[in-house]
Amino acid sequence: MPYTTDLSVSQFEILDQHLPKSKTKKNVVSRHGIVNGIMYQLKNGCQWRDLPKDFPK
């Protein structure tokens, strides 16, 4: 179930152009998932360790 803070794919594509690229070829964690986790934390003000488990570590 998506959260109200989740970015759509089209919104993330616009933002992704401005994010620094990984220096390695292997992206282990979804950048989209990381941004969604940051957005959730900013809106709800929870501790990082209290993020729901469906966000990347």
Domain residue limits, the chain: 1-15+29-57
Residues 6+ apart with CB under 8 A from 36: 3, 5, 6, 7, 55
Can you give the pLDDT of all 57 residues of the chain as single tens digits?
689 999 999 999 999 999 988 887 777 788 999 999 999 999 999 888 888 888 887
Euclidean distance between CA atoms 40 and 29, whole angstroms: 17
Q: Which residue has the tokens 């990984």?
A: 22
pTM: 0.81
pLDDT at 30: 86
Tell me the C-alpha distance between 24 and 39, whole Å: 25
Q: In this structure, what DSSP letter does residue 41 have?
A: H
